[in-house]
Amino acid sequence: MRVLVLSDIHANLAALERVLDDASGAYEEVWCLGDTVGYGPEPDECIARVRQLDALAVVGNHDWAVLRRMDVEDFNPEARRAVVWTRDHIRPENLAWLSELPNQPVVRGQFTLTHGSPRDPVWEYVLYPSVAQASFEHFTSQFCLVGHTHVPAIHVLQGDTSKVRSSALSPGQIISLQNGGRSILNPGSVGQPRDSDPRASYALLDTDALTWEIRRVAYPFEVTQAHMRAARLPERLINRLAYGW
Ligand code: ZN
């Protein structure tokens, strides 16, 4: 089965639509690794798209905060303002959809899906080999898919040493997962990339051929920025979309 793997859409409709156009015809199922809302100006529209796609989804930390299940004081001031704005604007039926998303890892075949890490699904970042190494003890499948860092990456467990090799992933590169050992994979962020590349990031996974491909697509971020300005979301969050940080 071919799977479209999305994460950290962050209420950025222009980015999500561009990704769905680009991936059109290349997948049978959609997996969404959380943070569908937060930061951006289109929470309802993005949730509506994800629901239309009948995606298998988990909850992220921003989703969790919008649901008032964690203290908004844990966020930096701009992120906090965006969470509060989202709480004030999201439609009840979309809040209800968020509230039903699992906050624990979900297993599909050889893949465990989570937002942060399998150890701390909502909050921990798998950014460095040390955290990745600890994470392997917290899931039993061959592969784990995570989001949250907004950086496309792969962390591979080196069988005999239990060391981890972490690599950033470039677009277009098709990674074979056949003989690579247990791995943690991150598709990057659709709506707020943070690796100095402002293009939306997503992954195509083939669960039969066991391949993983990162794709990047330029989208009209000025459209999202204009909507953020109209919504009076923080300037810093508006600016970062143009640079990918
Ligand atoms: Zn995020």
Query: Can you give the pLDDT at residue 161?
Result: 75
CA of 143 to the centre of ligand 1 (A): 21
CA of 159 to the centre of ligand 1 (A): 30
CA of 39 to the centre of ligand 1 (A): 9
Residues having C-beta closer than 5 Å to ion ligand 1 = 8, 35
Q: Is the pLDDT of residue 114 over 80?
A: yes
Q: Which two tokens stand for residue 105?
A: 């890892």
CA of 37 to the centre of ligand 1 (A): 8
Model confidence at 162, pLDDT cuts 50, 70, 90, reads confident
- d(C-alpha 200, C-alpha 171), whole Å: 11
CA of 192 to the centre of ligand 1 (A): 8
Q: Is the pLDDT of residue 160 over 80?
A: no
CA of 190 to the centre of ligand 1 (A): 9
For the chain, percent of residues with pLDDT exceeding 70: 100
For the chain, what is the mean pLDDT?
A: 96
CA of 176 to the centre of ligand 1 (A): 26
CA of 27 to the centre of ligand 1 (A): 23
Model confidence at 67, pLDDT cuts 50, 70, 90, reads very high
- d(C-alpha 81, C-alpha 77), whole Å: 6
3-class secondary-structure state, position 103? coil
Q: Which three-class secondary structure string do you get for 177-221?
A: CCCCCCEEEECCCCCCCCCCCCCEEEEEEECCCCEEEEEEECCCH
Q: Which two tokens stand for residue 115?
A: 């937002």
CA of 70 to the centre of ligand 1 (A): 15
Query: Can you give the pLDDT at residue 180?
Result: 81
Q: Is the pLDDT of residue 4 over 90?
A: yes
CA of 102 to the centre of ligand 1 (A): 16
Q: Is the pLDDT of residue 87 over 90?
A: yes
Query: Can you give the pLDDT at residue 203?
Result: 98
CA of 161 to the centre of ligand 1 (A): 32
